């Protein structure tokens, strides 16, 4: 049995005429009659009662008509769905993001605008740090993510530049350091610092300490925390200062003051990273939208 058997049957049943079905389907009458007979033979029952006045549905045929219509409707819906997914206008995207990146108007605006432009593409957003995102993209667990790229991207990962941030000094509000304005690296000697453990983001950790060393500064590390949110919580508690992403200015925590660094820079390019050989058409739509 093939779909054309059902289509021919439904047309004949609805029009009550092989001739009318032939004209509608642009198929010869003998071909339609033969397909109807083949269908009846395949299921083992008569679907039509043939009378001098034409064809009428048997009770079995009437029941079969309702099911055949439903089958054809579902096939048509499946065809439309497949075409929409292949075109990238329907589907599902798993996107990671560094939390402070989403505070920027560019990232939140891009996500919101894409959701409005492609309402049938569902977005699953997962907060993760950059190394976690890159690992998840390589493993096929994320379609893409907003990452701060420090160093080379892993092989097979493509990216679209979004914006570039830099670092800023965060100090407890009660400290006098930085109240007069920007500070130089030389003023930070002996200051207690809170930093990431190196294992969380080795490339950034090494870049930060290298930038400090270039200015003759060795950080006096007193505490470690695995997220910038946790780091800033410790700064707020007076446990030390921290060099953090300047994006945190968009969401300043209580009892923390941000101070510009006069001669210390660690550029943090924010990029949307994704698998270069990805097959999700909705991802291609998102990348083009982001560009």
Topology match between the domains 91-164+269-290 and 167-266: yes
Residue 103 is predicted with a pLDDT of 78
Residue 77 is predicted with a pLDDT of 87
> In this predicted model, what pLDDT tens digit does every residue of 84-132 receive, in sequence order?
888 788 899 999 999 888 876 889 899 999 999 999 999 999 999 999 9
Q: How many Å apart are CA 276 and CA 134, to the nearest integer?
A: 12
For the 167-266 domain, the top CATH level (class) is alpha beta
CATH superfamily of 91-164+269-290: Periplasmic binding protein-like II (3.40.190.10)
Domain ranges across the chain: 3-87, 91-164+269-290, 167-266
209: CB partners within 8 A, 6+ apart: 219
Secondary structure of the chain: what % helix, strand, coil (to 5)? 45, 25, 30
Residue 84 is predicted with a pLDDT of 84
pTM equals 0.76
Three-state SS string over 132-166 comes to HHHHHHHCCCCCEEEEECCCCCCCCEEEEEEEEEC
| CATH code of the region 3-87 | 1.10.10.10
């Amino acid at each position: 049995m093939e779909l054309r058997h059902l289509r021919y049957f439904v047309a004949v049943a609805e029009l009550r005429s092989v001739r009318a079905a032939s004209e509608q389907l642009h198929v010869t009458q003998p071909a339609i009659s033969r397909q109807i007979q083949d269908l009846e033979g395949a299921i083992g029952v008569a679907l039509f009662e043939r009378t001098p006045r034409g064809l009428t549905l048997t009770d079995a045929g009437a029941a079969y008509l309702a099911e055949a219509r439903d089958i054809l409707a579902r096939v048509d819906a499946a065809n439309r769905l497949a075409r929409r997914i292949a075109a990238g206008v329907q589907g599902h995207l798993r996107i990671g993001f560094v939390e402070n990146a989403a505070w920027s108007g560019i990232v939140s605006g891009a996500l919101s605008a894409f959701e409005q432009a492609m309402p049938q593409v569902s977005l699953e957003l997962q907060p993760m740090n950059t190394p976690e995102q890159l690992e998840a993209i390589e493993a096929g667990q994320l379609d893409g993510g907003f990452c701060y790229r420090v160093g080379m991207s892993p092989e097979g990962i493509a990216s679209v530049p979004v914006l570039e941030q830099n670092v800023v000094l965060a100090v407890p509000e009660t400290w006098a350091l930085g109240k007069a304005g920007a500070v130089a690296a030389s003023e930070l000697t002996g200051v207690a610092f809170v930093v990431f453990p190196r294992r969380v983001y080795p490339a950034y950790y090494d870049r930060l300490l290298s930038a400090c060393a270039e200015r003759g500064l060795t950080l006096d590390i007193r505490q470690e925390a695995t997220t910038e949110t946790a780091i800033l919580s410790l700064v707020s508690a007076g446990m030390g200062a921290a060099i953090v992403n300047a994006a945190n200015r968009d969401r300043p925590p209580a009892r923390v003051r941000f101070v510009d660094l006069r001669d210390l820079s660690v550029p943090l390019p924010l990029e949307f990273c994704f698998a270069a050989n990805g097959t999700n058409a909705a991802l291609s739509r998102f990348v083009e939208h982001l560009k």
